[in-house]
Amino acid sequence: MARHATPWVNGAVLPNLEAASAYHVFAPTFYPIIKNLIEQSVTSGLIYLNSSARDFHNPTLRPYLDKYLTRLGQL
């Protein structure tokens, strides 16, 4: 839409209408798929990150870190 923008008033430009139309047709289909992929690959990783190296010395957290971080290393 931006690469082949259409000139408009006072030096302004409008998005390319063909590209904008294609976006409007495909966006409802692709947006949920892309959003789901991003949520699965990015946000789930935060669950497995410990906040600092001191967490490995915490007797309450250490069993969870051993269980889940070890599994990540095997993937």
With CA atoms as reference, report the closest residue to 67 among 53, 40, 48, 54: 48
Cα torsion for 56, 57, 63, 69, to the nearest 10°?
10
Per-residue pLDDT at 71 exceeds 50: yes
Q: Where are the domains of the chain?
A: 6-74
Locus of tokens 């095997």? 74
Is the pTM here over 0.85, yes or no? no
Greatest mean pLDDT among 27-31, 51-55, 69-73 lies in 27-31
